[in-house]
Chain A
Amino acid sequence: MAEVQGGGGEGGKKGGKVRSKKTSTRIDMTPMVDLAFLLLTFFVLTSTLSKPKTMEITLPEKPKEGDKQPEVNEKKVLTLVLGSNDKVYWYVGITEPEAKREDFSKNGIRKVLLEKKGEIRDMIVLIKAMDNSKYKNFVEILDEMSICNIQRYAIVDITPADKEIVKQAKL
């Protein structure tokens, strides 16, 4: 540790031969270092490492009465239904579709999305969340949209017909 060292070599010429003791210019830095590192540790531990990011979503305005809803070709529609327990059900088309179940892993719904994106031109994805799905799933599916670079998607309320289709897929 830092210590007090003796006076410099050329000290002690003052006032004849009486040697005055010269105090060292060095000081003991140990407590300061202790404090500095204590503060350092504190700030390192309390500072948040990654700032949270945001995902911007823009929803369409509420349709006014008498507004015509755009019609879409049902063959181009891929419907994703968010279910409970981190499961997602998907089907193509609207008339008598057969729903399949996937999860949110890399080889789950992403594979399906990429595959269908290649198959169907101008694919439109409808996202419907069941009441027992989690917010997490909703964010995950929106995230998959941006990962797979799908630009045409809509967030739609679930219908009883969808629930029926999903129920059959569960069996």
Chain B
Amino acid sequence: MSKVKMHRASPSIDMTPMVDLAFLLVTFFMLTATARPDEPVEVSTPTSVSEMPIPERDVITITISKDNTVFFNVDGQPTRERLLAEMGKLYNISFTQEQTDVFKVLTTFGLPIQTLPQFLELSREERKEVKQPGIPVDSLNNQLKDWVLQTRLANPRVRIAIKGDGDAGYPVLKKVINTLVDRKVNRFNLITGTEEMPAEMKAAHTPAKKPS
């Protein structure tokens, strides 16, 4: 054996570039991630080839769950505050300041307004446990109509999106749509997942136009 010393490569490697990359990615995902608001129900929307994005702000989301319950949500805390005050006046229910504060940060809810004060008194965890019966949309007791109307008065720029579960029945959708059309809301959005346009149809297709 010769006495030439073998140069041992150090088992440790320079991790700096890897760390740089990792933090870059962390930063990217942190900035792009939007916290998912906690929803009272899980909704799996059907897919469509539509490529129109949802407006970021001023959206009323009417959720229809699998068991045909209707939920309501609107973004913007000032809008929500005004909305609750107006709805309270309309239904002769007074909300305390604490309840209003809770409502401002609440997301989707599906309760008749009569039970809303009680619901707002609960703690965050307790609210999650509550099985929400949905907003009444029957012709005799249609509170959705008032929610939509008052929201539009509170924020005229608001747009309406319907987020329905694929397995929701058509009749409940019809009720919701009729409610909207009654209030002269003729244009609204259906929230869907994305789906690829079939390749053989792509060529013949010109950008989608509105139905006449």
Contact = CB atoms under 8 A, between A and B. Distances in A.
B105 interface: no
Contact of B45 (A32, A47, A52, A58): A52
A128 to B, nearest CB: 10
Contacts of A29: 15-16, 19
Given A33-B18, A143-B48, A136 B189 contact: no
A56 B187 contact: yes
B209 interface: yes
Contacts of A32: 19
Across chains A and B, which 3 residue pairs bring their CB atoms closest together, nearest first? A43-B29, A136-B166, A54-B189
Contacts of B186: 58-61
Interface in A68-120: 82, 106
Interface string B157-170: 00001001111111
Interface in B2-55: 11-12, 15-16, 18-19, 22-23, 25-26, 29-30, 32-34, 36, 45-54
Nearest to B166: A136
Nearest to B201: A147
Contacts of B201: 147-148
Given A82-B170, A131-B171, A152-B212, A59 B177 contact: yes
A169 interface: no
Given A133-B170, A146-B208, A54 B49 contact: no
B46 A58 contact: no
B211 A153 contact: yes
A134 B173 CA distance: 9
Contacts of A40: 22, 25-26, 29
- The interface centre, meaning the residue of A30, A58, A157 with most chain B CB atoms within 10 A of its CB, is A58
B52 A55 contact: yes
Nearest to A52: B191
7 contacts: A43-B26, A55-B48, A55-B50, A56-B50, A56-B210, A62-B181, A138-B173
Contacts of B48: 53, 55, 139-140, 142-143, 146
Nearest to B164: A135
Given A39-B26, A55-B189, A55-B192, 17 more contacts: A2-B12, A36-B19, A43-B26, A44-B29, A52-B192, A53-B53, A53-B192, A54-B53, A54-B192, A55-B52, A59-B186, A82-B170, A135-B167, A136-B46, A136-B167, A143-B195, A145-B211
A57 interface: yes
Contacts of A138: 170, 173
B212 A61 contact: no
B198 interface: yes
Nearest to A134: B167
Contact of B52 (A30, A53, A145, A147): A53
A70 B51 CA distance: 32
Contact of B29 (A47, A52, A56): A47
A129 interface: yes
A98 B96 CA distance: 62
Contacts of A148: 201
Contacts of B164: 135, 139
